């Protein structure tokens, strides 16, 4: 009871010091926290009538947070959402990817026409960066997910075929009539025939993908397995970044979509090549000139000397040498002869005779100095 009485006395004292109307819209009331202007104007910074802060409206709040209510995805690169996605590496930093996938579209157009014996048009919708976990959660089911392995890159990739394309391929390959939509039966798993036909189409796409990467770097893509549940197609950690390529396949009135996902870890071994602005760029080095120079160096004539012995004699003796003087060498018929190219010692061997010519048979491998010289030439 004593505490309650103390509280009531404190409230009565505060009410006597701050009579009613102290905080009315006129802004005349004050307390220890500073001035306050009435209404929704906010706190007064003491600068007079124009010192009140403006309240953000709903559109400005959405823009700050990066929310896009229209659904067109235009605000993914603004606000807090842009900060969250800043850890992703934009595919635009890998310019060669666009060339590779553009080549893939041209190859698939021809190969799928031969595969289906129908008029097939392949188009590239877009190339984007996405987190692997976000992509798995966005896959529309039912679908077939093909996990493939990049042999030379020692990693995996993912290829998704949506249900529209699955039924369209089955309908085309089994002789369905043109002008009628493919029949879809929901609520059942894909049959063995459907999976086999889709697998053949996936193998054609992977072969074209290998040909698309061939000018840049030889990569072999082999099909590992087919899955219908995205949880079983986890080839990377959910937070890892990946490249998503969406391809549209149209066969007159039928068609669907293929989505190709390549984690950045898969592309890391050839990242320097993907940074090129055009095919064959070597960052200041000309590969054509390098190949020409290497070819000419391998066919260049080089003088090799066989050194029997070396001696150090006074200069006066050399100046006094006359015709007929004899120099005694510290070498025997069994002594090793040193082969030199200029000042670089190559190897050692024994001197002999082959037919009517004097020959030297190498008895030791190339010296470290000679190996370094050869590596520089390469």
Task: Please report the pLDDT score of residue 40 as a whole number.
Answer: 42
Higher-confidence position of 290 and 263: 263
- Tens of pLDDT along 8-50? 665 666 556 555 554 444 444 444 444 444 444 444 444 444 4
Cβ(157)–Cβ(145) under 8 Å? no
Looking at residue 360, which CATH number applies to its domain?
A: 2.30.330.10
Residue 115 and residue 213 in one domain: yes
Candidate ranges 7-11, 88-92, 249-253; pick with highest mean pLDDT: 249-253
- Tens of pLDDT along 328-348? 887 777 788 888 888 888 888
Task: Please report the pLDDT score of residue 153 as a whole number.
Answer: 87
Place of tokens 């070597």: 282
- Tens of pLDDT along 312-324? 888 988 888 889 8
For residue 261, give the nearest of 145, 154, 110 by alpha carbon.
145
Residue 46 and residue 155 in one domain: no
Domain count for the chain, please give it: 3
Q: Is residue 77 part of a domain?
A: no
Task: Please report the pLDDT score of residue 68 as a whole number.
Answer: 61
Cβ(212)–Cβ(101) under 8 Å? yes
Looking at residue 202, which CATH number applies to its domain?
A: 3.40.1550.10
Task: Please report the pLDDT score of residue 148 as a whole number.
Answer: 93
For residue 104, give the nearest of 214, 243, 197 by alpha carbon.
214
Cβ(132)–Cβ(115) under 8 Å? no
Tell me which of 67-71, 72-76, 140-144, 259-263 is least confident.
72-76
Residue 37 and residue 118 in one domain: no
Residue 370 and residue 300 in one domain: yes
DSSP 367: -
Residue 146 and residue 60 in one domain: no
At CA 26, angle to CA 25 and CA 30, rounded to 5?
95
Residue 116 and residue 259 in one domain: yes
Q: Is residue 308 part of a domain?
A: yes
Which domain range does residue 39 map to? 28-71
Residue 96 and residue 236 in one domain: yes
Residue 40 and residue 61 in one domain: yes
Residue 106 and residue 249 in one domain: yes
CA–CA separation, 337 vs 331, rounded Å? Answer: 9
What integer is the mean pLDDT of 142-167?
90
Q: Is residue 21 part of a domain?
A: no
Reduced 3-state DSSP string for 281-332 = CCCCCCHHHHHHHHHHHHCCCCCCEEECCCCCCCHHHHHCCCCCCCCCCCCC
Assign 70 to helix, strand or coil: coil
pLDDT > 80? residue 170: yes
Residue 231 and residue 96 in one domain: yes
Residue 252 and residue 139 in one domain: yes
Higher-confidence position of 313 and 280: 313
For residue 208, give the nearest of 141, 136, 115 by alpha carbon.
115
Report residue 304's pLDDT band, with 50, 70 and 90 as the boundaries. Answer: confident
pLDDT > 80? residue 3: no
Q: Among 225, 248, 274, where does a domain finish?
A: 274
| Encoded tokens for 175 | 């002789």
Q: Is residue 79 part of a domain?
A: no
Task: Please report the pLDDT score of residue 302 as a whole number.
Answer: 82
**240, burial (CB in 10 Å: exposed 0-12, middle 13-18, buried 19+):** middle
Residue 132 and residue 254 in one domain: yes
Tell me the CA distances in angstroms from 45 to 27, 29, 41, 49, one per residue in order. Answer: 12, 15, 11, 10
Q: Is residue 38 part of a domain?
A: yes
Task: Please report the pLDDT score of residue 207 as a whole number.
Answer: 94
Q: Is residue 325 part of a domain?
A: no
């Amino acid at each position: 009871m004593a505490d309650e009485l103390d509280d009531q006395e404190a409230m009565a004292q505060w009410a006597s010091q701050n009579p009613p109307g102290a905080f009315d819209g006129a802004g005349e009331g004050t307390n220890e926290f500073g001035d306050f202007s009435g209404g929704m104007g906010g706190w007064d910074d003491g600068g007079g009538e124009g010192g009140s802060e403006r309240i953000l409206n709903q559109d400005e709040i959405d823009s700050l947070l990066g929310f896009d209510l229209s659904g067109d995805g235009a605000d993914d690169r603004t606000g807090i959402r842009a900060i969250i996605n800043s850890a992703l590496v934009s595919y635009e930093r890998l310019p060669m990817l666009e060339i590779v996938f553009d080549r893939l579209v041209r190859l698939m157009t021809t190969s799928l026409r031969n595969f289906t014996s129908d008029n097939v048009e392949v188009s590239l919708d877009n190339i984007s960066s996405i987190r692997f976990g976000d992509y798995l959660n966005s896959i529309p089911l039912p679908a077939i997910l093909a996990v493939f392995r990049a042999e030379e890159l020692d990693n995996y990739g993912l290829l998704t075929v949506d249900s529209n394309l699955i039924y369209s391929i089955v309908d085309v390959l089994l002789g369905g009539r043109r002008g009628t939509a493919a029949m879809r039966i929901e609520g059942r798993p894909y049959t063995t025939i459907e999976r086999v036909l889709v697998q053949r189409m996936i193998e054609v796409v992977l072969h074209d993908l290998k040909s698309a990467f061939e000018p840049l770097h030889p990569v072999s893509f082999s099909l590992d397995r087919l899955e219908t549940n995205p949880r079983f197609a986890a080839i990377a950690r959910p937070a890892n970044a990946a490249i998503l390529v969406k391809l549209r396949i149209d066969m007159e009135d039928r068609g669907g979509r293929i989505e190709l996902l390549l984690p950045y870890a898969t592309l890391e071994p050839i990242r320097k090549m993907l940074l090129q602005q055009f095919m064959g760029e070597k960052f200041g080095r000309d590969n054509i000139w390098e190949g020409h120079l290497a070819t000419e160096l391998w066919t260049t004539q080089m003088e090799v000397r066989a050194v029997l012995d070396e001696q150090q004699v006074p200069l006066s003796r050399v100046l006094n040498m006359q015709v007929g003087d004899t120099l005694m060498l510290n070498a025997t018929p069994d002594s090793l002869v040193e082969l030199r190219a200029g000042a670089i010692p190559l190897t050692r061997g024994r001197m002999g005779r082959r037919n009517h010519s004097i020959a030297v048979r190498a008895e030791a491998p190339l010296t470290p100095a000679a190996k370094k010289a050869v590596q520089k030439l390469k």
